Amino acid sequence: MITPLPAEFLWVVLIASSALIVGSLAALLLQRTRRHARARRREALDAQLRPLVLEATVAEGDEIDDVLERVRALARVEREHIGRTAYQMLRDITGEAATNLRAVADAAGLVPRVVADTRSRDAVIRADAAEALGLLAPEGALERLRELARDPSPEVRTVAVRALGGFDDDAAVRSIVAALAADSGVPATVATTALLQQGWAAGDRVRLALEDEDPSVRRGAARVAGILQAPGSAERLVALVDDPLESVRIAAMRSLERVPSRDAVGPLVRAALEGGVLGEAAATTLLAMPGAWTREAIARIDHEAEPGVRRAAGLRRKEAAA
């Protein structure tokens, strides 16, 4: 027979449970109250300081100096808020207004905190700092971003390479090209997009990268070369039509559609006659070239290539032609 628990013990348990529940509710209420209070303070600061930030975006000449002096004279909490506001607006603003916002963020003391965060033990904080360096572009940002492009964390490396796309500098291009390597941990789309941001400034480096030992670098460079139309890249792209790696060959063919070379016709015909996806890509590239260059090549494809390749070359099915 089970002995019932004493009533006094049950009362103690009930009181303790009730106290725990009440305490939890009180803690939750306190957290919500503090959160709402912080939100109200941010709203009040925003209403007070946003006009100053907006004034900076339209300031001209010596007017910006007056704005910066007023920013420096603010209390610490106000400077921190105005720095965050300027940083957030930089995501959507370019030109002289962006230059002024960077100066506002610097005057608010944001830059030293961002630089310090790049050395944080937390990879998430380092990645956020890399993004901020790209937007704020303070003195020394390029060198620090190049270091972060070699960070142990692939997430940090990816953000740093993306940020380097905004720096018109040969050193930035070198770091971005290095990120095309398969073992960089940086998605190829990020590195190629960063190169495209560089425009013609990346031309020489992209041309050299077409001969890199790493096939991933060659593939990435081949993808970008046609879009950039880098001078002197056509000859190297022709050579890549016979690259050992199929993905490099296809990337080179796509770029040759934009920077056509008569020397590519022979290698493209050979590739077209191989058939498959590679053959179709070669036929598509031939179709994009001047007809005076490719007339005999298209005729050969018409007689010797498989149906999919013939279609890619713009040829009708033989049954339909008959």
pLDDT of residue 17: 82
Let me know if residue 313 belongs to a domain: yes
128, 162 contact by CB (below 8 A): no
CA nearest to 99, candidates 61, 66, 69, 127: 61
Let me know if residue 291 belongs to a domain: yes
Cα torsion for 114, 67, 139, 158, to the nearest 10°? 40
pLDDT of residue 182: 79
Q: Give the CA distances from residue 133 to residues 6, 87, 123, 148, 185, in Å, rounded to whole numbers and listed in that order.
A: 67, 10, 15, 11, 21
Let me know if residue 219 belongs to a domain: no
Let me know if residue 253 belongs to a domain: no
Q: Domain ends where: 92, 108, 138?
A: 138
CA nearest to 56, candidates 93, 91, 101: 101
CA nearest to 145, candidates 162, 158, 130: 130
235, 263 contact by CB (below 8 A): yes
Let me know if residue 182 belongs to a domain: no
Residues whose CB falls within 8 Å of the CB of residue 50, separated by 6 or more in sequence, listed in order: 85
Q: Domain ends where: 97, 119, 138?
A: 138
Let me know if residue 134 belongs to a domain: yes
Taking the model in full, what pTM does it have?
Answer: 0.70
Q: Domain ends where: 113, 138, 163?
A: 138
Q: How many domains does the chain have?
A: 2
User: In which domain, by residue range, is 278 found?
Assistant: 260-317
- Cα dihedral sign, 96-98-101-102: negative
Task: Report residue 152 CA to chain centroid gap.
Answer: 18
Let me know if residue 157 belongs to a domain: no
Let me know if residue 267 belongs to a domain: yes
pLDDT of residue 272: 95
Per-residue pLDDT of the chain (322 residues; tens, 9 = 90+): 566 667 776 777 778 888 888 888 888 887 887 787 777 777 777 788 888 888 888 888 788 999 899 999 988 998 898 888 888 888 888 888 999 999 999 999 999 999 999 999 999 999 999 999 999 999 999 999 999 999 999 999 999 999 999 998 889 988 998 898 878 889 988 988 898 888 777 788 888 889 999 999 999 899 888 888 877 889 999 999 999 999 999 999 999 999 999 999 999 999 999 999 999 999 999 999 999 999 999 999 999 999 999 999 998 766 544 4
